[in-house]
Amino acid sequence: MAHHTCPVPPAVGGRPNLLEAVADQLLAAQSADDGGALVRVRAVRDGVELGLQPLPAGVHPADVLVGQVLPRRWSASGLIVGATAHHLDTGVSHRVTVVALVDRSGRCVHRLDGCEVDSLGQAPTGRMVDLLLRSVGRPTPPTELDPGRWWATVWVDRIVDRVAEDPHRVSSSAQLHGAHPLHGSGNVGRALDWSRLRALAAGDDPAADTEETRRAQHALAPFVDRSTAAWMDDGCFARWLTAALPPIEELLGLTDTLLTPALAQDLRAVVCVPRA
């Protein structure tokens, strides 16, 4: 990781806020088409010391950040990346530069092409902010995501995979329901909130040695390993798993074409997602 020392620019009232100053300088120095970098920050006597580690080409920043713990000598963790912004009204897309920095108090500074995203009145949220918060040992926002909805998405995703491999693998109601990762486990899925799921994924649940919970652990394994689940908190864990799969509506669009009409309708009725 390359280290650089730069002077702190002046701020209103003569009391510079280091995190905002660094975010502004990073944004000014970076083009949206430049390669991204992980950022480390700490104040020194004559300014700010920065540690910059270029992101590997073709690797998502989340895959680099996950599991990281900010070394003690640094006071803030961050990221600068190019991204594509989509205008919701016009559908026009353009390249932007995003800077996110989180200090050890959990305060986040977020910049988007020179705009202070915090000025929208809400703190920035999402998977990348989650990972930065966890890297400095801070909790992430709670989630209202439904773990039952996630299990349904895993189920539909499995059906798509099975039918894509062999159209006859899911040709009956029994095969359809047998593809559910918790099939035959009774109501165990309803008792598995995000906290319990994370404990199972981390191998840290003393009540996990049952057939039902072993099935749940097996289903969780492709999405997160034990050490990563232990590093996350419940909100981070929930958003990580949810982001790992396409939206259930998109998957159901595929099952509508891959399954017989009767089975496709049966599936939609169980997951409570009607056709649009």
pLDDT tens column, 234-273: 999 999 999 999 999 999 999 999 999 999 999 999 998 8
DSSP of 189-202: HHH--HHHHHHHHT
- Structural domain includes residue 202: yes
> pLDDT band at 233, cuts 50/70/90?
very high
Last residue of a domain, one of 103, 135, 167: 135
Establish if 141 belongs to a structural domain: no
Q: What are phi and psi of 54, to 5 degrees?
A: -55, 140
Q: What's the Cα-to-Cα distance from 71 to each of 40, 75, 76, rounded to whole Å?
A: 9, 9, 10
pLDDT digits (tens, 9 = 90+) for 139-194: 999 999 999 999 999 999 999 999 999 988 999 999 999 998 887 655 445 568 89
Task: Please state, in angstroms and rounded to a whole number, the distance separating the CA atoms of residues 222 and 155.
Answer: 14
14 plus 125 within the same structural domain: yes
Q: Tell me the per-residue pLDDT of 49-94, one tens digit each, with 9 for 90 and over.
A: 888 899 888 888 899 999 999 999 999 999 998 777 666 667 677 7
Locate 61 and state its tokens.
Answer: 């920043």
Which domain covers residue 17, as residue numbers?
A: 2-135
Longest CA–CA separation in the chain, Å:
72
141 vs 28: CA distance, rounded Å: 30
Of 105, 135, 165, which one is at a domain's C-terminal end?
135
181 and 119 in a common domain: no
State whether 8 and 71 are in the same domain. Answer: yes
Cβ proximity of 160 and 190 under 8 Å: no
DSSP element (H, E) containing 215 = helix 211-220
Contacts of 47 (CB under 8 A, 6+ apart): 5, 6, 7, 8
Verify that 128 and 151 share a domain, yes or no: no
Residue 155 inside a domain? The answer is yes
Place of tokens 């062999």: 166
C-alpha distances out from residue 214 to 203, 207, 225, Å? 10, 10, 15
Q: How would you label 8-35 residue by residue, b for 16+ Cβ within 10 Å and e otherwise?
A: beeeeeeebebbbbbbbbbbeebebeee
- Name residues whose C-beta falls within 8 Å of residue 191's C-beta, 6 or more positions apart in sequence: none
Instruction: State pTM to two decimals.
Output: 0.84
